[in-house]
Amino acid sequence: MAELPQSVLFCCDHNAVRSPMAEGIMKKLFGTDAYVQSVGVVNDLEIDGFAIAVCEEMGVALSRHRSRSFEELEEMGEALSGFDLIVTLSPASQRRALELTRYYHLSVEYWPIMDPTGIGETREQKLSSYRQTRDQIKTKLESKWGRA
């Protein structure tokens, strides 16, 4: 089992589903033991309602999450070089993170987490796909850093 990093940045395409879920779940599992943020390659969507719903089922509140991009994170005074680990959850975010950090001494890891958007016709089918994504993230966090 890996040692918990001091700071982690999760990223996906829009910072609306996977990366906010990962940020929220990690904060729930590890509290203040690690500083955790999330971003998207682009910020063009608000936090997804299904992501909010399935995370609430496990006591993770995402309703106040505000989506932001890599650039907006830096504009807010947070340098990418300040993170110990960047976890990318989509191929596009992996490419962008590697591009932005090629001169930094930090780790970038790709976790292939399922994108639940667009899966399922009914509300229940959609919730089911989002739960799969949520559980995939939680399992990955626990297998990497243990249970808090």
Q: For residue range 80-127, what is the model confidence (pLDDT) as tens digits?
A: 889 999 999 999 999 999 999 888 888 999 999 999 999 999 999 999
Q: What pLDDT sits at residue 148?
A: 60
Q: CB-side exposure of 69: number of CA atoms within 13 Å?
A: 11
Is the pLDDT at 15 greater than 80, yes or no?
A: yes
Q: Are 97 and 87 in contact (CB under 8 A)?
A: no
CA count, 13 A, side-chain hemisphere, 50: 21
Beta bridge partners of 28: none
pTM, two decimals, is: 0.94
> Dihedral sign, CA of 138, 22, 92, 45?
positive
Q: pLDDT tens digits for 28-73?
A: 999 989 999 999 998 887 889 999 999 999 999 999 888 999 999 9
HSE of 140 in the Cβ direction (CA atoms, 13 Å)? 22
- Structural domains in the chain, CATH included, are 7-145 (3.40.50.2300)
With 0-12 CB in 10 A as exposed, 13-18 as middle and 19+ as buried, what is 97? Answer: buried
pLDDT of residue 105: 81
pLDDT of residue 122: 95
The whole-number pLDDT of residue 69 equals 93
Assess whether pLDDT exceeds 90 at residue 18: yes
